[in-house]
Amino acid sequence: MQADSQTREAVERVLRESSRRLIALLATRSQDMAAAEDALSDAIQSALETWPKQGVPDVPEAWLLTAARRRLIDEARHRAVQEASAGDWLLLTEEAYELVSGEAAFPDERLKLMFVCTHPAIDIAARAPLMLQVVLGLDAVRIASAFLVKPATLGQRLSRAKAKVRDAGVPFEIPEARSLPDRIEAVLDAIYAAYGAGWDDIAGADARRRGLAEEAIEFGRLLASFMPSAPEALGLLALMLHTDARRHTRRDPNGAYVPLSQQDAQQWDRDRIAQADALLVRAHSLLRMGRYQLEAAIQSVHSRRQ
C-alpha cells in the first residue's frame, strides 16, 4: 500500500510539474503532437502498473520519457517513418539517458512548441486553443468555455489542427526573425488566456488550474528573454506581474471578491510591481505601443495607491 501511495504521489508530481515539458520534448522529436500525448499517457499508465512492484525511479521523468519514446518508435516503425528521422530519435534516446543519470537539465521545448501552434498552415481559430491544450495543459471543456464554442466542436478543431501539423510537415522550431512579428500575437494571447484561467481560480475550486497563472508568468519571462526587443512581450509580462502582485488581497478569508479600492495595498507584492514597472520602461523605450503595454500602464497607475 505504501508503494502504491508513493507511486501516486510521484505520478501526480510529474503531471503537475513536468508533463507539459515531456510532451513538448516528445512532440518536437516525433513531429506529432497527438502521438506525443498518447505516448505519455501510455507511459503514465505503465508507471502506475510497474512502479508499485519495482519502486519509484530516482528520476521519474526520465523513466516516463524512455517509456514514451519506445511507444513512439514502435508507432514510427509501423508507419515506416523515413530514415531521416533516425537522428532525432537517437538524440531523444541520449537525452533520456542523461536524465536517468541526473547530470543534465530537463530540456524545455515548450516555447518552440508554442510557435509551432502559430504556423500559417494552422487555422487561425485553432491556434490559441491548440497552445492552451498542448503546451499549457488546459482541458477541452475549459478551453471551449473560454472561446464560447461547444466542447465537441473544439475537440474536432483541435484534432484537425494536430493532424495538419503532422501532415503538412510543420517544422518544430522557433521561426526565423523575419517571421516572428506575424506569429507572436497568437503566442501572447495564449499566454494571457492561460494566465486568466489561473487568475480566476478560487482556492480549492479546480486543482488542475493551480499554478497555471505562475506558469503563464514563467512563459512570459521566457518569451521576453528570447525577444527582448519585442515591446508587447515586455508589456504582457508587465501586465501579469502587476495583477499578480495583488493576487493574495483580491479575496477575503471566505473567498469573497474584494474590490481593488478596498484591497490592503500594504500587502501587495512590491518586488513584482517594481519588476513590472521596469519592464514597462524598457517597452516604452522601443517606441511601439500596443494593447498589452496600455493595459499594463493602467495597472501600474493602480499599483501606486499606498
Q: Read off the DSSP letter of residue 263.
A: S
Using the predicted structure, report yes or no on whether residue 105 has a pLDDT greater than 60: no
pLDDT digits (tens, 9 = 90+) for 72-86: 877 777 665 554 455
**What 3-state class would DSSP assign to 250?**
coil
Percent share of the chain, pLDDT over 90: 40
The pLDDT score that the predictor gives to residue 2 is 46
Using the predicted structure, report yes or no on whether residue 198 has a pLDDT greater than 80: no
Percent share of the chain, pLDDT over 70: 84
Q: What's the rounded Cα separation, in Å, for the pair 292 and 17? A: 28
Residues 253/267, Cβ–Cβ less than 8 Å: no
**Of the spans 187-191, 212-216, 284-288, which averages the highest pLDDT?**
284-288
Query: Hey, where are the domains in the chain?
Result: 2-101, 111-303
Q: What's the rounded Cα separation, in Å, for the pair 191 and 124? A: 16
pLDDT digits (tens, 9 = 90+) for 151-170: 999 999 999 999 999 898 88
Beta bridge partners of residue 257, listed in sequence order: 251
Residues 134/170, Cβ–Cβ less than 8 Å: no
| Rg of the chain over all Cα atoms, to the nearest angstrom | 21
